[in-house]
Amino acid sequence: MRIDERGLSILRHEIEGAATVDVTFDGQRVWSTRVESDDDSESTDAVDPEVFLAWPAALAPYLDGITSVEVRDSADGRSLASGEARLGAGSSRIAVVDAQGRHLAMNKWDRLGVVFEGNDSGVKERLLASAAAAVAVLERAGYPVYIVGGTLLGYMRNGGLLPHDDDIDLAYLCEESDPTDIALTSYRMERTLKAAGFVVVRHSLAHLELDFFDENGHVDYYIDIFTGYFRDGEYCQPFALRGDQVTPADLVPVKRIEVDGVVLPAPARPEAWLEYAYGPGWRIPDPTFQFVTPRSTRDRFETWFGVYNRARVFWDKSYAKQDGVQGSSPDDQWVEDFLDRLPAGANVLDLGCGDGAVTERMARAGHRVVGVDYSNEALNLARASSTTDADYRFVNLNDRHALFALGFDLIETREPWWVFGHGLLQGMTKTNRRNVFYFLNLVLRGDAEAYMTMDTELPDSYRREDPTTWHLPVEWLHDEIAGYGLRYETRSPGLSDRYGIRRRTIAATIRRLDELAPATSQGLEHL
């Protein structure tokens, strides 16, 4: 086996018979991948005697140092090839770990994440205990809940959690079939869980996540709760699954099983759910498995239930990498311009406050500031670093219900609120930006205004999965803001290099239209 910065080259006969392989560094799995067989190739040319496995992009930052590489068959664990590797200029052993020292491996989302294998902190035991507690709360409230996904797969294969998994998957069978009624049921469930003391993160109107934190405020583990329902003869489980292979009798009444010694509810016929989700080969281990969701199914679920989790994992990982160190307060023209426009002792809402560097600066300037974000890692850093009385809150701006609840809290103060968003709008999808426009119409009163900065140019480094490379041209803002009872003006054009990307940036001040103001937006003349 040859190993370099590009990947692994393995003799084809050495991995013959393996459909997927695990790649380990010093005994710890960091990646699993499918292996192309002779039958997979459409070429009529002679088959290459070597198989090349290119490193995934997410591993690239770690490939600097020395490590023992082993390739194993995912199905039975047998060693197929091994060798010592020196990658990059580093002389230390390669450690693929996060800021908290937890082992990372490539997951089904093609990104590095914390997994159970190699983690001896007792996280599995804590996770299972929390799952049992959550199930008890849900069952007392009348929700028929059962394990699904990798949790059910692990139980059926070996009676426990899968080594390459990182959470517990639950679902409940909703009696409703109308999207609105399903959403209302989900909100009732959220209130039930919050009343029981759980921290709930909403992914959509049909998907909740329970987050659990360690002593330093970092997310230690989480539990997914999916909604299952029947409509037109099909069992639907957003965000990925829809089909007629499962019947109500396959799911309920649930049966009690033991997962690593902890009693949890499972579908009445686990095999039926697993074949529905993973196909007839579900018994064969495949850490590389990914759900392939038809476009029609994805469009239906996203249209009915929304997508509230866009880019949240990216930001969580980014702020976790800061290792508890708050970024410096950006000394740029836009923050100064906003502060110059504020009256003394103003009420300020910092939307998308991140690690709180700008929020703290506003508070030190003598203003009452509330900072909100949907990244728990960012908020943990902001609170730990705060030296002011700034108020930090978890609010997901993609969730209109949560955003309006914040709006009503501000209205109840009976005082004007100024709103600041530094690069906020460009980091949201067009659909979710509507929530912010509705919100601004709700909370802006009198002379108060919103001040939004945006990078207007698409950089050469653009990547869809990286929101720091997104942009928002003023023309888009002009078109999108129409019809929300708002008017805007652009100001302070300049260049910024936030996130190490130098490009044109502009600010827009947004005010609520009064009855006498023309129902048009202004600002294109500044382009």
Say whether both 349 and 260 belong to one domain: no
Say whether both 322 and 297 belong to one domain: no
pLDDT at residue 328, as a whole number = 65
pLDDT at residue 527, as a whole number = 34
Say whether both 70 and 135 belong to one domain: no
Say whether both 299 and 316 belong to one domain: no
**Which secondary structure element, helix H or strand E, spans residue 229, and what is its range?**
strand 219-231
| 136 inside domain | yes
pLDDT at residue 492, as a whole number = 79
- Condensed to tens digits (0 to 9), the pLDDT of residues 7-40 reads 999 999 999 889 899 999 999 999 999 987 655 5
Say whether both 358 and 436 belong to one domain: yes
pLDDT at residue 291, as a whole number = 83
Say whether both 462 and 361 belong to one domain: yes
| 102 inside domain | no
Tokens 């790649």, located at residue: 23
Report the CATH number that the domain containing residue 469 is assigned in CATH. Answer: 3.40.50.150
| 108 inside domain | no
Q: How many other β-carbons are positioned within 10 Å of the β-carbon of residue 440?
A: 25
Report the CATH number that the domain containing residue 271 is assigned in CATH. Answer: 3.30.460
The string of DSSP letters for 139-197 reads HHTT--EEE-HHHHHHHHHHSS--TT--SEEEEEE-S--SHHHHHHHHHHHHHHHHHTT
From 226, 269, 273, select the one nearest 245 (Cα to Cα). 273
Report the CATH number that the domain containing residue 62 is assigned in CATH. Answer: 2.60.40
| 114 inside domain | no
Say whether both 163 and 280 belong to one domain: yes
Choose the final residue of a domain: 305, 320, 353.
305
Tens-binned pLDDT, residue by residue, of the chain (527 aa): 999 999 999 999 999 889 899 999 999 999 999 987 655 555 445 567 899 999 999 999 999 999 999 999 998 899 999 999 999 999 999 999 987 888 899 987 788 988 898 788 899 999 999 999 999 999 999 999 999 999 999 999 999 999 889 999 999 999 999 999 999 999 999 999 999 999 999 999 999 999 999 998 889 999 999 999 999 999 999 999 999 999 999 999 999 999 999 999 999 999 999 999 999 999 888 888 888 899 999 999 999 999 999 999 999 989 988 877 887 655 578 999 999 999 999 999 999 999 999 999 999 999 999 999 999 999 999 999 999 999 999 999 999 999 999 999 999 999 999 999 999 999 999 999 999 999 999 999 999 999 999 999 999 999 999 999 999 999 999 999 999 999 999 997 888 888 888 899 999 999 999 733 444 444 433 33
Choose the final residue of a domain: 278, 305, 332.
305
Evaluate whether 415 touches 347 at the Cβ level (below 8 Å): yes
Taking the C-alpha atoms of residue 444 and residue 450, their distance in angstroms, rounded to an integer, is 8
What residues are paired with 505 via a beta bridge? 455, 494
Residue 449, phi then psi, degrees to nearest 5: -145, 165
Say whether both 209 and 88 belong to one domain: no
**Residue 474 sits in which domain range?**
312-526
Say whether both 356 and 463 belong to one domain: yes
pLDDT at residue 108, as a whole number = 79
pLDDT at residue 106, as a whole number = 92
Q: How many other β-carbons are positioned within 10 Å of the β-carbon of residue 176?
A: 16
Tokens of 433: 């930006």
Tokens 């030190």, located at residue: 364
| 327 inside domain | yes
pLDDT at residue 47, as a whole number = 62
C-alpha dist (Å) from residue 244 to 229, 237, 248, 445? 12, 12, 11, 52
pLDDT at residue 42, as a whole number = 52
Q: Residue 182 corresponds to which amino acid?
A: I
| 106 inside domain | no
- Condensed to tens digits (0 to 9), the pLDDT of residues 274-329 reads 999 999 999 888 888 888 899 999 999 999 999 999 999 999 989 988 877 887 65
Say whether both 84 and 136 belong to one domain: no
From 247, 286, 240, 230, select the one nearest 20 (Cα to Cα). 286
Choose the final residue of a domain: 96, 112, 137.
96
Say whether both 73 and 164 belong to one domain: no
Q: Which residues contact 72 (CB under 8 A, 6 or more apart)?
A: 21, 22, 24, 78, 79, 80
Q: How many Cα atoms are found within 13 Å in the side-chain-facing hemisphere of 404?
A: 6
| 451 inside domain | yes
End-to-end CA distance of the chain: 57
pLDDT at residue 101, as a whole number = 85
Say whether both 196 and 338 belong to one domain: no
pLDDT at residue 409, as a whole number = 97
- How many domains does one find in the chain? 3
